[in-house]
């Protein structure tokens, strides 16, 4: 059985674009997750997500692993991009879509 930390590392490595969020893209459970998922979906690429409300172990461990205390968290190509404010800012500046498209194409 793998540890929570190993699970997190596997998820991040296996998915070029991964959003840790509260709820699902269809039914976000907080305003920040809703804003983040809208910005990512607007880029037009498929992405993976983990509903941290269904995974309390990941919810507890990920902030320590990422050194980022809040959710949502967007990971692109194995790197933490940031939370809601950074995601929406990148989207408004037109920088998020090329990042996501490059990661998916790689």
User: pLDDT digit string (tens) for 75-92?
Assistant: 999 999 999 999 999 999
106/92 Cα distance (integer angstroms): 24
- Tell me the pLDDT of the chain averaged across its residues: 97
Annotated binding site: which residue ranges?
A: 22, 30, 59, 71, 84-85
pLDDT digits (tens, 9 = 90+) for 47-74: 999 999 999 999 999 999 999 999 999 9
Query: pLDDT, tens digit, for every residue of 28-44?
Result: 999 999 999 999 999 99
Residue numbering of the annotated binding site for [2Fe-2S] cluster: 30
State how far the alpha carbon of 40 is from the alpha carbons of 54, 61, 91, in Å.
21, 24, 8
Domains of the chain by start residue, with CATH: 4-105 (3.40.30.10)
Residue ranges for the binding site for glutathione?
22, 59, 71, 84-85
């Amino acid at each position: 059985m793998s540890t929570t930390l190993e699970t997190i590392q596997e998820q991040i490595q296996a998915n070029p674009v991964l959003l840790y969020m509260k709820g699902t893209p269809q039914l976000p459970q907080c305003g920040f997750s809703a804003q983040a998922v809208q910005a990512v979906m607007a880029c037009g690429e498929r992405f993976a997500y983990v509903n941290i409300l269904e995974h309390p172990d990941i919810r507890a461990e990920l902030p320590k692993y990422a050194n980022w205390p809040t959710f949502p968290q967007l990971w692109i190509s194995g790197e933490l991009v940031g939370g809601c404010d950074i995601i929406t800012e990148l989207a408004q500046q037109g920088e998020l879509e090329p990042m996501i498209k490059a990661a998916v194409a790689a």
